[in-house]
């Protein structure tokens, strides 16, 4: 039963969420037409050029700490955070 395929297809057919919270991080997608300034991505230390789709991320409840990231850079960083958390949890349990 390819349930993963089905849910991906459904997701594609619906409007994409532009703002959500994951693991204590608040994310907002900035669409190209709304991205009018150049930002520095903390993930790769390169510029995010205007008219580039990217994400704004901040710790939930601390919007003054928001940063602009390339979307793949944030996803890589977020995956690393998750791995670190799993490693810590395993060490505590073991």
CB 53 within 8 A of CB 29: yes
Single residue of 27, 30, 55, 73 touching Zn ion by CB under 5 A: 73
Give the x-and-dash track for 37-56 against Zn ion (CB under 5 A).
Answer: ----x-xx------------
Burial of 53 (0-12, 13-18, 19+ CB in 10 A): middle
Phi, psi of 27 (to 5 degrees): -120, 140
Q: How far is the CB of 49 from Zn ion (least distance, A)?
A: 11
Least distance CB 57 / Zn ion (angstroms): 12
Rule CB under 5 A: which of 10-39 touch Zn ion? none
The residue ranges that bind Zn ion (CB under 5 A) are: 41, 43-44, 70, 73
């Amino acid at each position: 039963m390819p349930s993963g395929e089905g849910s991906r297809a459904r997701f594609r057919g619906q409007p994409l969420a532009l703002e959500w919270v994951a693991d204590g991080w608040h994310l907002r997608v900035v669409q190209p037409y709304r991205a009018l300034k150049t930002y520095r991505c903390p993930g790769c230390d390169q510029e995010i050029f205007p008219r580039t789709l990217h994400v704004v991320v901040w710790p939930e409840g601390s919007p003054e700490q928001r940063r602009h990231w390339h979307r793949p850079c944030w996803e890589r960083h977020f995956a690393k955070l998750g791995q670190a958390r799993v490693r810590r949890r395993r060490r505590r349990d073991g």
